[in-house]
Amino acid sequence: MAIKTVTLPIKGMSCASCSRTVEKQVEGLPGLVEKHVDHAAGRGEFILDDSKLSVEALINSINQGHYPVDLPATANRQKIIREVPPCPVCRQPGADVPTTVLRSNLQPATYKQTDPEDDFHICMTPSCAVAYYTLGKQQLIMKDALKRELYFKEGSQRQIICYCNNVDRQQIEETVKVFNITDWQSTMEHYRHKVQEKCEILNPTGLCCRDLFAEVVHEIKTTKT
């Protein structure tokens, strides 16, 4: 098995429904391990076993839908399609993460010992204690060195969905069930006087939470009693 993570620019998306449409387009492809499409960022991140699924086959599958991959000439594709190395501890696929998240999410003492110029990745395995890692200078940052918990890691006390506004799953469930509020903006305004969006800084993953928020709302509504 040769696991790689590729990030592809996708054009034409304007809402969470667009993201889900692209994800459904590739659902069931042999060799596709994980998928996350972010309409706000205009890109999709895909973890695949390239012994079973090539990047070209993935692109071709996406391009059969309404929202195509927006790549330049083939000669330049390697500059856009990046292979993300696996976590050195759990050996599972990781994901790219912008270094802008380090200062706001690492505890001060840990940040002082960190070289933010290195190429950082985030470990997406729930059972692994690693938060961020690099291969260049072999930096390893554990989840307990973060100011806030990673929502998908086992043992987290709060499942924070929107880090920018510090809103967790339990709060979202309240707005859905008690107030019948289901959109992102109204939910954030329900808890915060001033709503902010600085995902590339405040979210430990560096990603916009709107798609995740929509998934959580859908889960809550479908299990509503």
Report d(CA 42, CA 59) in Å as an integer: 15
Q: What is the mean pLDDT of residues 67-75?
A: 71
Report d(CA 212, CA 78) in Å as an integer: 28
- Res 81: pLDDT: 57
Residues 6+ apart with CB under 8 A from 27: 35
Residues 6+ apart with CB under 8 A from 118: 99, 134, 136, 137, 139
User: Residues 101-120: pLDDT tens digits?
Assistant: 999 999 999 999 999 999 89
Residue 74's CB is within 10 A of a number of other CB atoms, namely 8
Which residue segments constitute the domains of the chain, with CATH numbers given? Answer: 3-79 (3.30.70.100), 94-145 (2.20.25), 160-222 (no CATH)
Exposed / middle / buried, residue 51 (Cβ in 10 Å: 0-12, 13-18, 19+): exposed
pLDDT band at 75 (very low <50, low <70, confident <90, very high): very low
User: Residues 160-207: pLDDT tens digits?
Assistant: 999 999 999 999 999 999 999 999 999 999 999 999 988 888 999 887
